[in-house]
Amino acid sequence: MTMKLIKADNTEATTAGITDEMGDELARIGEMAKKYGVTLRTLRFYEDKGLLSPQRDGNTRLYTHREETRLKLILLGRKIGFSLRDVKQMLDLYEPAGSNVKQLRLTLDKSEKQLARLNKQRQAIDEAIGELNDVMKVVRTKLDEQRPMPVAANG
Amino acid sequence: MTMKLIKADNTEATTAGITDEMGDELARIGEMAKKYGVTLRTLRFYEDKGLLSPQRDGNTRLYTHREETRLKLILLGRKIGFSLRDVKQMLDLYEPAGSNVKQLRLTLDKSEKQLARLNKQRQAIDEAIGELNDVMKVVRTKLDEQRPMPVAANG
DNA sequence: TATAGCATTTACGTAAACGTAAGTGGTGCG
DNA sequence: CGCACCACTTACGTTTACGTAAATGCTATA
């Protein structure tokens, strides 16, 4: 029981319970990475692409709840098949204190296109599976022909 | 008797009816490209990767029936989702005068794995479609909420 | 002979999403 | 004090299948 990384009561050592002047929960990059199953590299990459912009304590990145929400949206977007560029476009339209009609419209628009793409992909995959099965059938047949007739084997 | 490639009277100039000393039908790169809906670049690329190896008349590539068959297989392979590397491995095992058991086995092996991949992809796409539909539903709802109640509009 | 067409070569560019290496900094603990 | 950790930065590498110049050659035809 190494027990490292945990401070006695509130030493604010390496991790945990860091809060903003605003009272926000602040997480460091390692926590975020573990919590959402991504690498540190990925989080920095997203930042480099303007998708995230965590606060800083010196050099150390501190992620607020807002950034966490953004990350969730990014990951959802990627799961759905959006490119990071698309995700960024949508996120960039978010206005915390206004109507996000433009954002919603853009999202819906991109979603419809993505849905079309996904359906096409699905069809392509189904076709591929079909052809692949044909191929496998032929190959199996040819392989059987190679076998010199298992004349009534076992019985 | 080099036979130069071009016959005197049949003006056909650039293309057509070129034959080998063997009597094979020889096609130039442009014909092949059109016939199979690929670019010249693609054919040269495949050659560069060792998937095709057309004859030469000087610098000009001449494709035999064998090369054509290979191309068909390459395209089928790609349609099925194999990488060019995989296709090459399989093609490289072809022996014109022997049992191609190894080739067939490799093909079957790769096919099974590819089938598994395709099924996974299919599932992933289905999931993505599902989530995407959820997202669209939410977005549509939010957009509707933005509209200040179409209290019996128009009429 | 000039032009149109088809061909050739080399070689850098593209897209996406990070991986990975290399070198450095700050910190609490034994 | 020095190790173990966590974090940071820069920047090149990876993968796949070609696209896209750029410069040049060969041949038939007008």
Integer distance in angstroms from CA A75 to C1' D3?
37
Whether B138 contacts chain A with CB within 8 A: no
pLDDT tens digits for range B103-129: 999 999 999 999 999 999 999 999 999
Would the Cβ of B2 be found within 7 angstroms of any atom in strand D? no
Distances (CA, A) of A137 to B9, B20, B72, B122: 49, 35, 18, 21
B 19-38: CB within 7 Å of strand D: 38
Residue A26, pLDDT score? 87
Residue nearest to nucleotide D25 (CA to C1'): B59
Helix (H, G, I), strand (E, B), or coil: what is residue B56? Answer: strand
Cβ pair B142:A104 closer than 8 A: yes
CA distance B128 to B126: 5
Q: Average pLDDT in the B69-82 region?
A: 94
Max Cα–Cα distance, chain B, nearest Å = 90
pTM over 0.85: no
Helix (H, G, I), strand (E, B), or coil: what is residue A46? Answer: helix
Q: Is the pLDDT of residue B40 over 80?
A: yes
Residue A20, pLDDT score? 58
Q: Is the pLDDT of residue B154 over 90?
A: no
Residue nearest to nucleotide D15 (CA to C1'): B83
Give the bases of strand D that a protein CB approaches within 7 Å. Answer: 5-10, 16-20, 26-29
Nearest to A79 among B79, B131, B142 (CB): B131
DSSP-assigned letter for residue B21: T
Residue A149, pLDDT score? 67
Q: What percent of chain B has pLDDT over 70?
A: 79
Residue A95, pLDDT score? 87
Q: Average pLDDT in the B15-22 region?
A: 56
Question: What integer best gives the mean pLDDT of chain B?
Answer: 83
- What value does the CA radius of gyration of chain A take, rounded to a whole number of Å? 26
- Residue among B65, B66, B112, B22 nearest A137 (CA): B112
Gap between the terminal Cα atoms of chain B: 88
CA distance B89 to B107: 9
- B114 vs A contacts (CB less than 8 Å): 132
Angle of helix A65-80 relative to helix A29-36, nearest 10 degrees?
40
Q: Average pLDDT in the B25-32 region?
A: 90
Cβ pair B81:A128 closer than 8 A: yes
Which residue ranges in chain A fall short of pLDDT 50?
1-16, 155
Cβ pair B131:A80 closer than 8 A: yes
Our CA-based measurement puts residue A87 at a distance from the nearest CA of chain B, in whole angstroms, of: 13
Residue B17, pLDDT score? 53
Contact yes or no for A90/B115 (Cβ under 8 A): no
Cβ pair A108:B143 closer than 8 A: yes
Cβ pair B132:A81 closer than 8 A: yes
Would the Cβ of B53 be found within 7 angstroms of any atom in strand D? no
- B117 vs A contacts (CB less than 8 Å): none
